[in-house]
Amino acid sequence: MRTSLPFAFAIVATFAMSFVTSRAIAGDPSQTSGKQLFLRCINCHGANGQGMKAGTLQVPSIAGLEAWYVESQIMKFRTDKRGAHADDAKGLMMRAMARALANDAEVKAVSAYIAALAPKVEKPDTSADIKRGQQLYTMVCMACHGANSQGNPDPNIRAPSQVALESWYIQEQLVKFRTGVRGSLKDVEGLRMVPMVRDALPLMAKSLGATVEEADRDILAYINTLSGKP
């Protein structure tokens, strides 16, 4: 389902106004702590960063994502490497929020705060074929995301852990990578993902007698069994 653009902008406008007040209370933005900065995020991501469903809009849980990854994503939203595609209504919404942070120090501070929040825990989908999910994950995802989905910050890889992410959100992102809404030419890391989910995964799924939809479902369920620990 796609969030309409006018709706997205209406929401951005509402929250942009709340910045005016939080700025005034916070004083010098360069002195604002991660916790204070996070107050600007809770209307959408929830007080503990566990995500939120606001009407037709679903906002992802970000609690417990690694600090380096949160930082990299906020920087991408700030520099049009992510969330700049006309069909990416949710990305555009987040882009506006990322741009309202004053400087790199604020990005760092709020990222560290998010990383320290308790991640959301999901049970694996019991309707999925977890064994097939494991085969697919091992063949297509593990090299970069790690055997336990612990992630890999190596500059040549920079793939995040996926365990703190909700399944619905991973699914949406897989579709964005597949359809070119995420992973533009400016986005070095996003570009690493595109051929994996657009080309490699459908091929592997076919070899195991699964549709792409079934492959996604099975991988998501398998990720929910992983610890995220190295």
Give the residues lining the site for ligand HEC (CB under 6 A). 11-12, 15, 37, 40-41, 43-45, 59-60, 62, 65, 70, 72-74, 90-91, 93-94, 97, 101, 110, 140-141, 143-145, 158-160, 162, 165, 170, 172-174, 189-190, 192-193, 196-197, 201, 219
Please tell me the number of Cα atoms within 13 Å of 21 on its side-chain side. 6
Residue 102: left (phi > 0), alpha (psi -120 to 50), or beta?
alpha
Comparing CB distances to ligand HEC, the nearer of 128 and 193 is 193
The continuous run of DSSP H or E covering 167 comes out as helix 167-178
Comparing CB distances to ligand HEC, the nearer of 90 and 120 is 90
CB of 180 to ligand HEC, least distance (A): 14
CB of 153 to ligand HEC, least distance (A): 10
CB of 123 to ligand HEC, least distance (A): 18
User: 92-97: long-range contacts at Cβ-Cβ below 8 A with a sequence spacing of 24 or more?
Assistant: 92/5, 92/8, 92/12, 93/3, 93/8, 93/11, 93/12, 93/44, 96/12, 96/16, 97/12, 97/15, 97/40, 97/41, 97/44
Comparing CB distances to ligand HEC, the nearer of 128 and 165 is 165
CB of 188 to ligand HEC, least distance (A): 8
SS3 content of the chain, % helix, strand, coil (to 5): 55, 5, 40
CB of 17 to ligand HEC, least distance (A): 11
CB of 30 to ligand HEC, least distance (A): 15
Length of the chain, in residues: 230
3-state SS, 21-33, equals HHHHHHCCHHHCC
Comparing CB distances to ligand HEC, the nearer of 40 and 127 is 40
The continuous run of DSSP H or E covering 159 comes out as none
